[in-house]
Structure 1
Amino acid sequence: MAEPTARAPGGSDAPVSGAAASRTPADDADLRESLAGLSRLASGQLDLRSLLTHVADFAMHAIPGADGVGLTLVEDGRADTIVSSAAFVRDVDAIQYRIGEGPCITAAAERRTVHSASLGKDPSWPRFGPQVGRLGVHSVLSLPLLTGDQALGAMNVYARGEDVFDAWAVELGELFAVPAAISVENAQALAQAKRLAVQLQSALTHRAVIDQALGILMSRSGCTPAEAFDKLRVMSQSQNLKASAVAQQLLDEAVARAQARHSTG
C-alpha cells in the first residue's frame, strides 16, 4: 500500500514515495524558463482566468512528469477549479469536491504540500483514491498557494502513471508555488478592484437617473425633494421594481413625450 507524503512547504526532511530524486540540467532550465515567464505576466493586461491559465501552463512545463495541472481557488469556504491544462484534471477535481475529500482539499485546508505515488491504493482518501485510480490517474502533487497566513487555494499536478513525482519534482513544485501564489493574489486583487469600479460606476449612473426622475416628479406636482422621493419609493414598491428601474421608466417616458411634442410642434 502506498504511503502518502505530507510535507510542509519548503521542507526537505519528510520522505517522498516514488522514484529516487533525479535532478537534470533540463529540469533546471525548465524551472528557470517557467519562473521567468511567470515574472513577465502582466496582470493588468489579463483577466483572472487568463492569468491562471498561464500559471497552469508554466507549472506543466516546470514540474517533470506532469500530465495535467489545475488551479483551485477557495472563496467563501468553497473550493473550485478555475482553470485546468487538461480536461481530465477538472474531472478528477470534481470528484473530490463532490465527496469532500482529496489531496487538493487537504493541501488548501492544512496549508501543506500533499504527495501520493498511487492514489488508488492511498489510504488517506479511501473514497477519492479508488475512483480516480479507475480513471487512470495515479500520481498527484498538490501544493497550497500561500500568501502570508492565507491559503488562496491549491495547485494540483497530476500524472497518469504511478510513482511519477520524485523528491526533486516535489521541490520544484514548491519552488514554483511561491511566485505562483503571488501572481494569483495580484490577479485576484485586480479582479476585485475592477468589480468594485463597475459597481461604483453603476451606482453613480443609478444615482444620476434617480436625481433626474425626482426632478420630473417635482416639476409635475410641485412637491418637495423629500416628497418626490417618497413618491418614487411608493412606485417602486407597488411595481416591485428597484427605485433605479422606476426612475429610468420615468425618464424614458419624459424623453418620449418631449420628442413627440418636438415632432408635432
Structure 2
Amino acid sequence: MDDLTRVDDTDLAGSLLASLPVTGVSVSTMGELLRTETVSASDPTAARLDELQFDLGEGPCWDAVAERRPVLEGSLRLAPRRSWPAFSRALLDHEGVEALFAFPLLLGPLALGAMDLWCDRPGELPDASARRASALADDVSRHLLRRAVRDVADDQAEEVRVDKYSRRRVHQATGMVLAQADVSVEDAELLLQGRAFAEGVSMTDIADAVLEGRVSFAAAPDDPCPDEREQEW
C-alpha cells in the first residue's frame, strides 16, 4: 500500500482497516504544521475517539505524537498502562472500546498526526500487525504531506524551472536535509516542501535557509524535534 495517491480521504481509513486485525481506524492531523482534524475514519466510533482526544487534549494519539512512538493499550478499561483521567471517564459512555493503539505519523523530524486503531475486544496487537501498522503509518505520513503541499509544490516547480540557479540551490539543500534527517531523496524534498508550506515561503527561500544554516532538519541530542527557531524571510 505504498501508493495512496488514488485513495480518497473518505476511503483512506477503510483501506487501512482492510490490512489490519482491528475493529476501526482513524487518521488525524495534529501539531503546528497541519491543523488538528480527523482526515478519515472507518466508522463513527473511530471518529468519536478522535474528537474526544482533541476536545480533552489527552489520550493515546497525543502521547504518540509527543513521544514519536506507538502507544499500545491492549486493555484500555481494565488494566491501562497510562493515565488519562478525562479521556478514561469519557470512555465510560462508549461501550465496546476495549483496546486502542496509536501510531504517530512522522516524516523525518516532522510530526504530522496519528493513526488510531481501536478494537472491541481486549488484547495486545500482535508484533507482526504492529510492524505492519508502523509501515502503513509511514505511507500515510507521506500521503498527508504531499496532499498538503500539492498546490504549493506546483507553483514552486514553475519557479524552479525558470531559474537553473534556484534548481541548483534546492538540490544542494535536498542533499543536506537527506543527511540531517537520515531520509531518502524523495522524503528530503518533501520535507523542504512541507517547511515551505508551513512558513508560507518558496522552496528557494527554504533551500537558502538550509544552505546558510538558518534552518536545520537535524534533531538536537536531547530534543526529538527539528530546529523551530523563528525565521524572518
Q: Please tell me whether residue 117 in structure 1 is matched to residue 80 in structure 2.
A: no
**Correspondence for 1:135:** 94
Match of 1:158 among 99, 115, 118: 118
Q: How does 1:51-130 map to 2 (within 5 A)?
A: 52-64=9-21, 66-76=22-32, 79-121=36-78, 122=80, 123-130=82-89
**Correspondence for 1:203:** none
Question: Is this contact kept in 2: 1:71–1:156, CA < 8 A?
Answer: yes
The runs of 5 or more residues in structure 2 that have no matched partner are: 157-233
C-alpha distance in structure 1 between counterparts of 2:25 and 2:151, whole Å: 22
C-alpha distance in structure 1 between counterparts of 2:93 and 2:123, whole Å: 16
String of CA shifts for 1:10-68, please: whole Å, max 9, x gaps: xxxxxxxxxxxxxxxxxxxxxxxxx2xx42x336xx7xxx3x3343222101111x111
**Correspondence for 2:161:** none
C-alpha distance in structure 2 between counterparts of 1:155 and 1:114, whole Å: 11
Identity %: 26
Which secondary structure does the structure 2 equivalent of 1:127 belong to?
helix
Structure 1 residue 192, shift from structure 2 partner: 4.7
Question: Is this contact kept in 1: 2:107–2:142, CA < 8 A?
Answer: yes
**Correspondence for 2:190:** none
The runs of 5 or more residues in structure 1 that have no matched partner are: 1-34, 198-265
Give the aligned residue type for 1:109: A
Q: How does 1:217-232 map to 2 (within 5 A)?
A: none
String of CA shifts for 1:160-187, please: whole Å, max 9, x gaps: 2111522222122112211221122111
Structure 1 residue 116, shift from structure 2 partner: 0.2
Higher RCO (C-alpha under 8 Å, 6+ residues apart): 1
Which secondary structure does the structure 1 equivalent of 2:128 belong to?
helix
C-alpha distance in structure 2 between counterparts of 1:134 and 1:120, whole Å: 12
C-alpha distance in structure 2 between counterparts of 1:110 and 1:184, whole Å: 20
How many equivalent pairs are there? 152
The structure with the larger Rg is: 1
Which secondary structure does the structure 2 equivalent of 1:151 belong to?
strand
**Correspondence for 1:175:** 135
Provide the aligned C-alpha RMSD in A. 2.4
Question: Is this contact kept in 1: 2:29–2:113, CA < 8 A?
Answer: yes
